[in-house]
Structure 1
Amino acid sequence: MVSRVIPVDPFDLVIFGGTGDLARRKILPGLYLRFLSGQMPEDAAIIAAARSDHDDDAYRAIIRKAIDEFVAKDKRDAKSIDAFLSRLSYVQVDAMGEGGWKELAGKIRKGMVHAFYFSVGPSLFGALAERLHKHKIADRKSRVVVEKPFGKDLASAQELNATLAQHFREEQIYRIDHYLGKETVQNLMAVRFGNMLFEPLWNAQYVDHIQITVAETVGVGGRGAYYDNSGAMRDMVQNHLMQLLCLIAMEPPNAFEPNAVRDEKLKVIRALDPVEPKDIVRGQYGPTGDEPGYIEDSENPESRTESYIALKLGISNWRWKGTPFYLRTGKKLKARASEIAVVFKDPPHSIFGEQEGRKGNVLVIRLQPNEGMNLRVTIKEPGPGGMRLIEVPLDMSFAEALGADAEDVPDAYERLIMDVIRGNQTLFMRGDEVEAAWAWTDPLIEGWQGAGTKPATYDAGSSGPEDALALMHRDGRRWREIAV
Structure 2
Amino acid sequence: MAAALGEWHCEKRPFAKSESFANNNENVPETGCLSIIVLGASGDLAKKKTFPALFNLYRQGFLQLNDVHIVGYARTKISDDDLRDRIRGYLPNGDNGTEDVENFLLLIKYVSGSYDAPEGFQALDKAISEHEFSKNSTEGSSRRLFYLALPPSVYPPVCRMIKSYCMNKSDLGGWTRVVVEKPFGKDLESAEELSSQIGELFEEPQIYRIDHYLGKELVQNLLVLRFANRLFLPLWNRDNIANVQIVFREDFGTEGRGGYFDQYGIIRDIIQNHLLQVLCLVAMEKPVSLKPEHIRDEKVKVLQSVLPIKDEEVVLGQYEGYKDDPTVPDNSNTPTFATAILHIHNERWEGVPFILKAGKALNSRKAEIRVQFKDVPGDIFRCQKQGRNEFVIRLQPSEAMYMKLTVKQPGLEMSTAQSELDLSYTQRYQGVAIPEAYERLILDTIKGDQQHFVRRDELKAAWEIFTPLLHRIDNGEFKSLQYKPGSRGPAEADQLLEKVGYVQTHGYLWIPPTL
Tell me the TM-score normalised to structure 2 length: 0.87
2-side partners of 1:77 and 1:254: how far apart? Answer: 49
**Deviation above 6 Å: which 4+ runs of structure 1?**
480-484
The percentage of counterpart residues that share the same residue type is: 38
Deviation of 1:28 after TM superposition, in Å, equals: 0.5
Counterpart residue number, 2:494: 469
Q: Is the 8 A contact 1:250 1:265 kept in 2?
A: yes
Deviation of 1:377 after TM superposition, in Å, equals: 1.8
SS at match of 2:363: coil
Superposition pairs of residues 122-271 of structure 1, within 5 angstroms: 122-138=152-168, 141-271=175-305
Unaligned runs of 5+ in 2: 9-32
Quote the RMSD (CA, aligned, Å).
2.1
Counterpart residue number, 2:402: 374
Q: Is the 8 A contact 1:5 1:37 kept in 2?
A: no
SS at match of 1:66: coil
SS at match of 1:152: coil
Count of residue correspondences: 469
1-side partners of 2:381 and 2:230: how far apart? Answer: 30
SS at match of 1:282: strand
1-side partners of 2:484 and 2:301: how far apart? Answer: 38
Deviation of 1:199 after TM superposition, in Å, equals: 1.9
Q: Deviations over 1:79-102 (max 9, x none)?
A: 111111111111112211123222
2-side partners of 1:168 and 1:436: how far apart? Answer: 21
Q: Aligned letter for 2:493?
A: A
| Mapped pair 1:435 → 2:487 | no
My pick for the range that moved more, 470-479 or 181-190, is: 470-479
Deviation of 1:4 after TM superposition, in Å, equals: 7.2
The 3 A distance-change label for structure 1 pair 55 and 269 is same
Counterpart residue number, 1:361: 389
Counterpart residue number, 2:75: 51
Counterpart residue number, 2:311: 277
Q: Is the 8 A contact 1:14 1:116 kept in 2?
A: yes
Deviation of 1:298 after TM superposition, in Å, equals: 5.0
Counterpart residue number, 1:307: 336
SS at match of 1:81: helix
Superposition pairs of residues 286-301 of structure 1, within 5 angstroms: 286-287=320-321, 293-294=322-323, 296=325, 298-301=327-330
1-side partners of 2:415 and 2:2: how far apart? Answer: 46
Tell me the TM-score normalised to structure 1 length: 0.92
SS at match of 1:436: helix
2-side partners of 1:39 and 1:455: how far apart? Answer: 47
2-side partners of 1:4 and 1:388: how far apart? Answer: 53
- Could you tell me which of 139, 143, 151 is aligned with 1:113? 143
Counterpart residue number, 2:5: 7
My pick for the range that moved more, 145-154 or 111-120, is: 111-120
My pick for the range that moved more, 46-55 or 419-428, is: 46-55
2-side partners of 1:294 and 1:34: how far apart? Answer: 41
Deviation of 1:476 after TM superposition, in Å, equals: 4.5
1-side partners of 2:2 and 2:126: how far apart? Answer: 35
| Mapped pair 1:420 → 2:445 | yes
Counterpart residue number, 1:347: 376
Counterpart residue number, 2:418: 391
My pick for the range that moved more, 100-109 or 39-48, is: 100-109
Deviation of 1:133 after TM superposition, in Å, equals: 2.1
Counterpart residue number, 1:332: 361
Q: Is the 8 A contact 2:319 2:482 kept in 1?
A: yes
2-side partners of 1:18 and 1:341: how far apart? Answer: 38
2-side partners of 1:155 and 1:77: how far apart? Answer: 48
Q: Is the 8 A contact 2:336 2:360 kept in 1?
A: yes
Q: Is the 8 A contact 1:220 1:298 kept in 2?
A: no
